[in-house]
């Protein structure tokens, strides 16, 4: 892998690493002002750091120990595909379009893919793919 590709991959990982650390300032600093986050499983698409961070803080409220582990990264042009696994425990209220789901106390392990588009060393957009049915099944939530 070339140093340029590694630099691109490192930039693409920055928002997820910031989420892992619940470092919202670092997350904001890794985004462009017009950053678009498309959470495919929930049908949520938000634009701008404030709205994106509100979504991510919602996940952190529901699962304060949630973190991702990276498995693979593939870079082409200004786009990086990241393969990862999210893990955590549902210990707080989860906000959904259908209403709030109280904490179940159950843990989850969920594979996901993030397709990250960069502008320089900042994330311009991210599409995150994961299986909501698998998450709900692991948490004992009926959809």
Contact 140, 106 (CB under 8 A): yes
- Predicted confidence (pLDDT) at residue 98 exceeds the cutoff of 90: no
Two tokens, residue 67: 């973190």
pLDDT score, position 143: 60
Q: Which of 82, 69, 91, 87 is nearest to 135 (CA)?
A: 87
> What pLDDT is stored for residue 84 in this prediction?
98
Residues spanned by the domain of 118: 3-139
Express each pLDDT in 35-65 by its tens digit: 999 999 999 999 999 999 999 999 999 999 9
Nearest CA-CA partner of 68 in 112, 24, 29, 107: 112
Q: Identify the DSSP state of 41.
A: G
Q: pLDDT band at 82, cuts 50/70/90? A: very high
Three-state SS at 53: helix
Both tokens of 13, joined, read 């990982």
Cα separation, 138 vs 81, whole angstroms: 25
CATH code of the domain in which 104 resides: 3.10.450.50
pTM: 0.94
Count of domains in the chain? 1
């Amino acid at each position: 892998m070339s140093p340029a590709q590694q630099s691109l991959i490192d930039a693409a990982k920055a928002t997820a690493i910031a989420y892992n650390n619940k470092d919202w300032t670092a997350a904001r600093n890794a985004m462009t002002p017009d950053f678009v986050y498309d959470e495919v499983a929930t049908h949520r698409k938000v634009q701008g750091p404030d709205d994106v961070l509100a979504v991510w803080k919602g996940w952190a409220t529901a699962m304060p120990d949630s973190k991702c582990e990276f498995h693979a990264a593939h870079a082409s042009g200004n786009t990086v595909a990241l393969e990862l696994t999210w893990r955590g425990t549902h210990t707080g209220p989860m906000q959904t379009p259908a209403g709030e789901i109280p904490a179940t106390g159950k843990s989850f392990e969920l594979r996901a893919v993030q397709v990250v588009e960069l502008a320089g060393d900042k994330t311009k957009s991210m599409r995150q793919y994961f299986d909501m049915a698998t998450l709900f099944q692991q948490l004992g939530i009926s959809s």
